[in-house]
Every structure is written in structure tokens, then in C-alpha cells.
Structure 1
């Protein structure tokens, strides 16, 4: 979970004040933009953490 928080801070810094809507869940925070989505997620089963970026 600590690593996910680090990833969230990094994404916030990189994406800056870009307008987006945020959808939060227990596994992470998804930032939804006009161009796609970006988020940091924690996987409970294996303890892995990842940044996922998807484009529309």
C-alpha cells in the first residue's frame, strides 16, 4: 500500500493540474481524462503495485 501511495504522488506530480475526474476504490485511484485513464493500483492477492495508463 505504501508503494501505491508513492505512485499516486508521482502521478499527481506528473499530471499536474490537468482537468480530470477521479474515481477511487479500495485498490486505487483512477484519474479519468478526455484522452484516457491513469492510476496506481494495489493487488491484494499477490501484493503487487502498478501504474496503469490506457488511451482511448
Structure 2
């Protein structure tokens, strides 16, 4: 929880510095999870490939 708040403060500080809105931490995390899952599904030699099934 404390780490998440610290990271969110960094994001908000960066927004003020560049004067542009950035995605929140939850959006970044979700996008990265989806990207990693897609890569695992595409890689048949990945050890965890069998844990994923496409709907």
C-alpha cells in the first residue's frame, strides 16, 4: 500500500513536470498484465503456457 502511494506520487509529480496527464497506476498495471499474458499464450515453449486457455 505504501509503495503504491509512493509510485502514484511519482506519477503525479511527472504529470506536473511535463504538464500532461498520465495513466494511473492501476491502468499501467492492468495493461502490463494483459501484455505479459498474451506473450505467454503465444509462446508455446513457455513453462506456464498450459495454464492459459483462450475463451
- Larger strand fraction of residues: 1
Structure with bigger RCO (C-alpha 8 Å, 6+ apart): 1
- Larger helix fraction of residues: 2
Question: TM-score per shorter chain, which class?
Answer: 0.3 to 0.5
Larger Cα-atom Rg: 2
Q: Normalising by the residue count of structure 2, what TM-score does the alignment of the two structures yield? A: 0.37
Q: Normalising by the residue count of structure 1, what TM-score does the alignment of the two structures yield? A: 0.36
